[in-house]
Amino acid sequence: QVQLMESGGGSVQAGGSLRLSCTASTYDYNTYCLGWFRQAPGKEREGVARIYLANDSVFYVSSAKGRFTISQDKVKNTAYLQMNHLKPGDSAVYYCAAYRVYPGSSCSLNSDQFAHWGQGTQVTVSS
């Protein structure tokens, strides 16, 4: 059972930055696809970015490109989401999620593929 623990949420003013962390409890960490998702009140959950932990391949949705950076520290089994130039529209509960990538499959941001989820961390951006 993979356990994910997020941290780093908080409240910032528009234009500010936050770095979210997601620490995984698995020795197979390198075989996983890890994604960051967010859900604002009354809205559907949406993917933000994902990273394939085996080769650092990354993908961002358009709203995150140029402002957010997803990365990992393999020694710490931790992935990060650096968020810069935050906007009020970025306010949401942010979740990290992961699934194991088997041969023949790929790392994507399709939420249906993600088997393991963290508890979420709140990000609030005020104008």
**Residue type at 115 in one-letter notation:** A
- pLDDT tens, N- to C-terminus, the chain (127 residues): 789 999 999 999 999 999 999 999 876 777 899 999 999 999 999 999 999 999 999 999 999 999 999 999 999 999 999 999 999 999 999 999 999 999 889 999 999 999 999 999 999 999 9
The amino acid at residue 70 is I
DSSP helix/strand/coil, 31: helix
Q: Give all strands (DSSP E) within the chain, no chain letters.
A: 4-7, 10-13, 18-24, 32-39, 46-52, 57-60, 68-73, 78-83, 92-100, 116-117, 121-126
The whole-angstrom separation of Cα 70 and Cα 83 is 9
Q: Helix, strand, or coil here: 45?
A: coil
Dist. CA 5–CA 7, nearest whole Å: 7
Q: CA-CA distance, 94 to 67, in Å (whole number)? A: 16
